[in-house]
Amino acid sequence: MEVHPDADDAAVEAVDGVRLTQGAAGDETSIQRFVIDPGATVPEHDHPHEQVGVITEGALTFVVDGEDRVVEAGDTYVIPGDEPHAARNDGDEVVVGYDIFSPPRPNPDWGE
């Protein structure tokens, strides 16, 4: 068993106001924590990994196929691999959540 502490000092600012912390990675899945400030946007992107997540604080607006989908604290979601998607925090509070990727995404290049 491996344990990866969820330390703020391990967070990477992928884009302005969006901090990502890489968590544990196994043979089939990996997990990352995200913190998104009010007004911050994750630009449209895609990746081959299926992405399953949960919002633990706040509400995040995903944009998929030009449609806004609001995901609130306690909600879960799934984004198929290779599906273009973006996200933004339209609220007044920080959004916190976790994404699980399959296959694992243990060393993402968040700069791309």
Query: What does the domain layout of the chain look like in residue ranges?
Result: 38-94
Task: Report the top-level CATH class of 38-94.
Answer: mainly beta
pTM (predicted TM-score): 0.91
What tokens were used for 49? 């990994």
Q: Report the pLDDT averaged over residues 37-66.
A: 97
The CA–CA distances, whole Å, from 61 to 2, 6, 66 equal 33, 24, 12
Query: Would the pLDDT of 54 be above 80?
Result: yes
Q: Report the pLDDT averaged over residues 26-38.
A: 95
pLDDT of residue 112: 47
Q: What is the mean pLDDT of the chain?
A: 92
Residue % of the chain over a pLDDT of 90: 78
